[in-house]
Amino acid sequence: MHVLLTAGPTYEPLDPVRFLGNRSTGKMGYALAEAFAAQGAEVTLVSGPSHLPDPASPRIRMVRVETAAEMYAEAAKVAGEADVWVFAAAVADYRPAHVAMDKIKKSGETLTLELVKNVDIAATLGQRKRPEQFAVGFALETTNELAHARDKLHRKNFDLIVLNSLRDAGAGFGHDTNKVTVLDAAGQIVNFELQSKADVARGLVSLIMSRLAPSL
C-alpha cells in the first residue's frame, strides 16, 4: 500500500527574509507517517518547513517543500499511484501577489499587502480521485466546527475528515497531544479523546485501514 501524506505548514515568501505562514509544526502528520509505516505501508511524506527530524522508518520517503505551489506539485506527482491520500498539512490559503526581490524597508505607518489565492491541493486532486482511492482530510476550526467539516468533506471528495477544534485544550498546533473527531460521508462520527499525537495517529490509521478495500 502506498500512502501520500502532506504535513506541516507552508511558507509564502513576501521578500527574501519574510513570509506568511502559520503555527503548524508537522507533529500530527509525521506521527501518521510513522503509524502507516509501522503497518507496512510505503509512505511519501510531503512536508512543509518543520524543525522535526526526518522519520526514522525506511518505508517513509521525505519530500521537503516550502510553498503551497511546491507542495501541490510534489503531491500531484504521486497522487495517481497512491492508494491512500492524507492531507494533514496546514496549507496557506493565500500568498503575496508580488514577492519583493529586496527586503521591504520600513516606510510610513501602514503596509498594505495584496494576496492571491493558492491552489487548493486537496480539492484539486480530489477532482481526479478514482473510486478505489481513499482520501482523508483535516479541518482545524474555531466556530461551527461540525458544519464546516462536513462541508469540506463533501466539497473536497474526502472519504473521512479529521476535525480539530482550537477550543479544545491540548489540541491543535504545537501540542504533543491531540483530540479529534472523525466524520464520514454517511454521517458517522468517531471521537478520539485527548491523548498523545502518536496514539491518535495509530488510532486514525487503524480506522482508515478498516475502511479500505480488502485488496489493499
- Report pLDDT digits (tens) over 126-162: 999 999 999 999 998 878 889 999 999 999 999 999 9
CATH number at residue 59: 3.40.50.10300
Query: pLDDT tens-digit profile of 169-201?
Result: 776 677 889 999 999 988 889 999 999 999 999
Residue 100 belongs to a domain: no
Amino acid 164 reads: N
Strands 160-165 and 60-64: unpaired
| Res 134: pLDDT | 97
Is residue 215 predicted with pLDDT exceeding 60? no
Q: Select which of 22, 118, 157, 178 is catalytic.
A: 22
180 is in which domain, residue-wise?
2-95+113-211
Please give the angle made by the CA atoms of 127, 128 and 129, to the nearest 5 degrees. 100
Q: Is residue 130 part of a domain?
A: yes
3-state SS assignment for residue 75: helix
The answer to whether position 146 is within a domain reads yes
Q: How many CA atoms lie within 13 A of 10 on its CB side?
A: 26
One DSSP character per residue, 106-127 reads P-SS-----EEEPP-HHHHHHT
Count of CB atoms situated within 10 Å of the CB of 77: 13
The verdict on residue 91 lying in a domain is yes
Check residue 176 and give its pLDDT: 87
* Residue 168 forms part of a structural domain: yes
DSSP 143-169: SSHHHHHHHHHHHTT-SEEEEEETTST
Within a domain: 105: no
**Count of domains forming the chain:** 1
Condensed to tens digits (0 to 9), the pLDDT of residues 19-57 reads 999 999 999 999 999 999 999 999 999 999 999 999 999
In the predicted structure, residue 96 carries a pLDDT above the cut 90: yes
Closest by CA to 134, choosing from 77, 33, 212, is 212
205 with 32: CB under 8 angstroms?
Answer: yes
Domain-embedded: residue 107:
no
Q: Mark whether 118 is an active-site residue.
A: no
Mean pLDDT of 109-122: 96
Q: How confident is the model at residue 213 (pLDDT cuts 50, 70, 90)?
A: low
Does this model's pTM top 0.85? My answer is yes
pLDDT of residue 164: 87
Flag whether 34 is in a domain. yes
**Grid cell at residue 75:** 503531491
Residue ranges in the chain assigned as alpha helix (H) = 27-38, 68-79, 121-126, 145-155, 197-211
Q: What pLDDT is attached to residue 175?
A: 81
Q: Give residue 169's pLDDT.
A: 72
Which of 27-31, 107-111, 163-167 has the least mean pLDDT?
163-167
Summarize the confidence of residues 76-84 as an average pLDDT. Answer: 98
3 state DSSP class of 53: coil
Task: Categorize the per-residue pLDDT at 214 as very low, low, confident or very high, splitting at 50, 70 and 90.
Answer: low
Residue 216: pLDDT band with limits 50, 70, 90 = low
